[in-house]
Chain A
Amino acid sequence: MSEQNVILEKITAIIRDLFDEYDGPVTMETTANDVAQWDSLSHVRLMVMIEMELGVHFSTSEMQSFKNLGDLVNAAAKQVG
């Protein structure tokens, strides 16, 4: 579980940087709908930034299949762990 927390923390930092107008909470349940700036273009940027930061790799269909941040964190955790 702590692995997930570390990853979520790193992702939170990226999200704060990328979506500078958003100041709501970032949790495992956060979805794109919660963040006004989170559109398809920034979604791709976010994914690639996370890939670079964590040293992981997502397939395109994976990127489109995450239902919330939790899915994303779990998928990243699998690769990191």
Chain B
Amino acid sequence: MIFTDPIFLFVFLPIVLVAFYATASHFGRNYALALLFVASIIFYIPHSMMSVILLLIALAVNFSVAMIITKMDDQDKNRRSIYLFGQFYNIASLCYFKYKIVTLLLGPKSGLIVDIAGIAIPAGISFYTFHQAAFLADAYAREKNVTQFLGRLGSIKSVFSAFCRYGAFVSFFPQLIIGPITYLSEFNPQIQSKRFLRLNPIDLAVGLTFISIGMFKKVVLADNLAPTVDVVFSAANVGAEIHPVQAWIGALAYMAQLYFDFSGYSDMALGLARMFGLRYPINFFSPFKANGIIDYYRRWHMTLTRVIARFLYTPLSVAGTRYSMFNRLAPIPAHLLSLWLPMLVNFQIIGLWHGALWTFSVFGLMHGFWYALETEVRASKWYKSVRKTTSPLVIGFIERAVFFLPLCLSLAMFRSESVAGGFHLFGQMFGTSFDAPSAFNMREPVVTLAVAFSIIYLCPNSVELMRRYRPAIMTYDNKSYGPAFLRELWRPGWIQAAAISGLVLASLYYVSRQPPFLYQGF
């Protein structure tokens, strides 16, 4: 199911909510979590039965490995091997089912194993795999939440109920398909808390507000920009002449579409979880207001940034730094080893995490170089002295101006159907095809774009709006940018209720049009 589908919002969600709080008050925590697990599997079934089976196998493998390495003694030599087996399973299933490694290596027509890989990519596989890989790493490091979460595991019954808790942790439907990728240290304290399971009406009000805002962003803003984006990018892919103004509208429309699609999803995920009394790590915090690519990645898909930094960038950078410091390398090779190389690898993986496409690879390369370059500039004496002598307002403006163009171009590459198509679009944006036939009617997309970018730059994001109710676990410390006088505080009242009703009704106007979220493809 997808969040914007009426059968989810008006049938599935109310039933699960009532069942959850009824189970919670009559049977307690374990049963309530088991109910969430079962409901999440039902939520997942429409994506395909094969995906459900694969998810259950992945849960069983990771849970067993975590259980075994938690019980094992530190001295036991097999502990590490069992842990590595678990991680190998995660990486291998990702490579097999998401990247179709077998198909890539052997070609599309080479027999039976290929046919298994030939099924559609299981929805959410890259999200739940990272989720579980992080959990296994915590279990291996004996993070204290893991032991508490798994419990005593003395009897079959206790193992089964621990498995259901684990199933709820990984596959809870608000975050199963598109994240946020959550750590157990964020989930476990909440379900251990006495407040969990108690119906708090404020949770419902906050949750409903998030769901309404998110739905509006996705259904009204993002989906209304989608047709323009599709026209421009498919034209670019076949090498069409595109009027420069229309090429720019296409690229900008994609920026706004991707923004509101993911932002809308993230809001809905936070809101849905909150209705069950759970807070999730924030994944999206006004990324286009960032003052550079470094700031951007602390605001865009933050839980992915954080998990990849933890498992990939930091170990690589530590190794590079150790090597260069022990060998007293000159500053330039030392920087290459401790910053540039780890950064390029990091972003290549972030790019390819979205799928095995050259456009993602080029996107990763662009962002890797950019990130490393910005790190160098910000560390330079020149930048520091400029920053001391210039007004922060001017600096903030210049930084955002410098940030915008490469961001627009790199996201256009990200969306392009081929690398050549991406470069062709760049050519048309800066080209002179003023004679090109008009590819679309401009009035509506231009108005939508104006509204979209005004919201992006002027309005507070939904977490800022609701900050009184601590709507999310902060993944990074982020500054709030933008006009402070517009950063009104939200509280549940009649006016706000009318406002969210307006948002929902506007979204329901488009109820017949339900394209999936963009990130569902990743």
A residues neighboring B (CB under 8 Å): 21, 33, 40-41, 44-45, 47-49, 51-52, 60-61, 63-65
Decide if B314 touches A63 in the complex (CB within 8 Å): yes
Closest to A47 in B: B318
- Report if B54 contacts A (CB, 8 A): no
B residues neighboring A (CB under 8 Å): 137, 141, 309-310, 313-315, 317-318, 321-322, 325-326, 338-339, 375, 379, 384, 477
Determine how close the nearest CB of chain A comes to the CB of B176; give it in whole angstroms: 26
Determine how close the nearest CB of chain B comes to the CB of A38; give it in whole angstroms: 12
CA distance A41 to B477 in the complex (A): 17
The number of residue pairs between A and B whose CB atoms lie closer than 8 Å in the complex comes to 38
Decide if A49 touches B325 in the complex (CB within 8 Å): yes
Decide if A44 touches B326 in the complex (CB within 8 Å): no
Determine how close the nearest CB of chain A comes to the CB of B409; give it in whole angstroms: 26
Decide if B325 touches A44 in the complex (CB within 8 Å): no
Closest to B372 in A: A41
Decide if A52 touches B317 in the complex (CB within 8 Å): no
Known contacts A33-B477, A44-B317, A44-B338: A64-B325 contact under CB 8 Å: no
Determine how close the nearest CB of chain A comes to the CB of B313; give it in whole angstroms: 8
* Residues in A neighbouring B325, C-beta threshold 8 A: 45, 48-49, 52
Known contacts A33-B477, A41-B338, A41-B339: A48-B318 contact under CB 8 Å: yes
Determine how close the nearest CB of chain B comes to the CB of A72; give it in whole angstroms: 15
Decide if B137 touches A61 in the complex (CB within 8 Å): yes
Q: Which of A33, A48, A63 gathers most chain B CB within 10 Å?
A: A48
* Residues in A neighbouring B137, C-beta threshold 8 A: 61
* Residues in A neighbouring B314, C-beta threshold 8 A: 40, 44, 60, 63-64
* Residues in A neighbouring B309, C-beta threshold 8 A: 40
Known contacts A60-B318, A63-B318: A45-B310 contact under CB 8 Å: no
* Residues in B neighbouring A61, C-beta threshold 8 A: 137, 141
Q: List 20 A-B contacts (CB under 8 A).
A: A21-B384, A40-B313, A40-B317, A41-B338, A41-B375, A44-B317, A44-B321, A45-B321, A45-B325, A48-B322, A51-B322, A52-B325, A60-B315, A60-B318, A61-B141, A63-B314, A63-B318, A64-B310, A64-B314, A65-B141
* Residues in B neighbouring A41, C-beta threshold 8 A: 317, 338-339, 375, 379
Determine how close the nearest CB of chain B comes to the CB of A17; give it in whole angstroms: 14
Q: Which of B310, B315, B339 gathers most chain A CB within 10 Å?
A: B315
Closest to A57 in B: B322
Determine how close the nearest CB of chain A comes to the CB of B490; give it in whole angstroms: 27
* Residues in A neighbouring B338, C-beta threshold 8 A: 41, 44-45
Closest to B314 in A: A60
Closest to B343 in A: A41
Determine how close the nearest CB of chain B comes to the CB of A79; give it in whole angstroms: 16
* Residues in A neighbouring B321, C-beta threshold 8 A: 44-45, 48
Q: Which of B314, B339, B375 gathers most chain A CB within 10 Å?
A: B314
CA distance A49 to B334 in the complex (A): 14
* Residues in B neighbouring A45, C-beta threshold 8 A: 321, 325, 338
CA distance A21 to B388 in the complex (A): 12
Among all A-B residue pairs, the 9 with the closest Cβ atoms: A60-B315, A48-B321, A44-B321, A44-B317, A48-B325, A48-B322, A60-B318, A61-B141, A44-B318
